[in-house]
Structure 1
Amino acid sequence: MTPQNEIEEEIRRQMLAERARAAIPPAPETPHYAAPQNPSRLQQLKDRGGIVGALATILLVLAKIGAPVLALLAKLKFLLIGLKLLTFGKILLTGGSMLLSMWVWGMYYGGWKFGVAIVLLIFIHECGHAIAGRLRGIPSTAMIFVPLMGAFVSLKRGGKNVVEDAFIGIMGPIFGTLAGVGCIGVYLATGSGFWLLLALFSFWINLFNLAPMAPLDGGWISPVFSPKLLALGVVLLFVIAPRNPLIWILALLSLPRIIGGWKAQPSADPYYQATASDRWKVGVAYFGLAAFLGIAYLWLHQHLFALLNHPNQVVM
């Protein structure tokens, strides 16, 4: 064969080979499988039960997560119940002692109206202490009424110094005095001697509370000037009413404060530190209030007798 024929023959063989390769289908590729994995609980339940299985799994997960949450909520529930019971206990203690005092005062003075009114006047007095404590950031406990003696409200803590305790102590008589003035206003509007008698009682009880004797309000005010004044208060009350059993009870209750005040060294104890300005402010409020209550009591006492002698005449 000539060289030209050889070239043509080689081209023909290559073309036939290309056609043969095109006619043969390609070999399938070897599949690449991912490594087998453990199906999730959710997927298993999906495969087994469809939507129902998936919902069951969701509930199972929520149960696992919710168990500690429910336990925490249960503890909080008991805490809330305890707080409610504690609050209810305070209300029950205050309300119960208040009702008992109303009944005793009413029996003692021969009328439930007067018993209710006296306890409300005492309540206003004690509210003055509670509000003053809150103004100083000191919350109060339940208010407890003591028949024929009054009431008391305990604070979570004492004042930081004598000035703070004096402020809390004097706010009770201030509120009580305002209540007595309000009774005079009602008397002037109605002409009923009942309100005049209430005002007289209010002025007397608040004046008595200003005596420098623990646990009276004056026992928290007088240490601003000197803690030794607590002993003077006991002597003063024994001179005024030596046979009154209430004075003896108060004297016994005040013994720890008297001993502590007598031993105290105001110059070395930070609690007794007070500036001259503080003493002036407390002194003006204390002695001014005592003078007002004393004058108002004597004036109302005379006016009440005039009203009894001339019931149809209002004398002011």
Structure 2
Amino acid sequence: MKAAIAEMEPYRRIVGPATRQRVRSTLRAALNAAIAQQLITFNPAAHVELEAGKRPKALVWTEERILHWKRTGEKPSPVMVWTPEHTGLFLDHIAEDRLYALFHLIAFRGLRRGEACGQKWTDTNLDAGLITVAKQLVVDGWEVYEDDPKTDAGARTIALDSDTVQALKRHRAQQDKDREEWESAWVETGRVFTRENGELLHPANVTRRFVELYEEIGLPPVRLHDLRHGAATLAHAAGADLKDIQEMLGHSSITITADTYTSLLPEADLAIAEAAARLVPRARATTENVTTENATPEADSEEPGEAEEAEADSVPDGADPSGEISEPGDPSAHAPLTQTAPDDESEAE
């Protein structure tokens, strides 16, 4: 197995640890069956050592993590998730880009890259606000081919929010204009997202464009697949339960959803901490409140409500509780493209 990996052509992307573990498991089972049929006497796959296939936990780009990344160029985790503010800045910046609707769809409804590139208009009902994920585009080396969704659960119907519906309607209108301009040279693929002449989008080029766009405004690095993590995190923060998120993402197991895709946003984490603390009655807090209420006002005491207003004024309006990022165009905010995680979209869940 190691020799086969070493002999792979250089342009072919090497799969990650989790996929290697699954390949070894399948091979080991097949060779055990061969032993049972007395075709071989031992199982060589049983002695192949591989690195752990544990999926990395997604982390949110907080202010502290952004500062660490700027100082060192290191990402805290291979899987990083933007805050809602980051996602909003990104979508506002790319509003006029040809691929805006594609990135919007992934950011809010969590499609895989290949699913978005493979989506067909015949499986898209904008009047009903529904899309059915029935096909995906898969990259093998540099070749692209159509395939079924990654798992049986991947074939699913997803509800669309009104903003996503409007984005797709504007995209369809632009595609109709492109079709008229290209006339007979237009390549009819029936895909929602295509090149200007109707040809299929290469998924790798979509990833490359994604990186170019977010680097233009100095956002911290994420993979395109991490927008899918972000969609799950947003849904979780909005109140969706794990079963709903599992179905939205097309996971075959709710364990994958729970273990990998529900990073807590700082705001939601703080709200949970405060709510938990309020469940425990404290005598000391009650005594302090009584003492404060019975105290004789000083001559320079604040008018009722001034303390609350002062506390509110201590945080500027519109401040980002999850931490500020650099202003768009700040050269110091840009990390080299080499700092982004490897493009392993094809094997990610």
Question: Which of the five TM-score ranges fits, normalised by the shorter chain?
Answer: under 0.3
Which of the pair has the greater relative contact order for Cα pairs under 8 Å at 6+ separation?
2
Rg bigger for which structure?
1
Higher helix proportion, which one?
A: 1
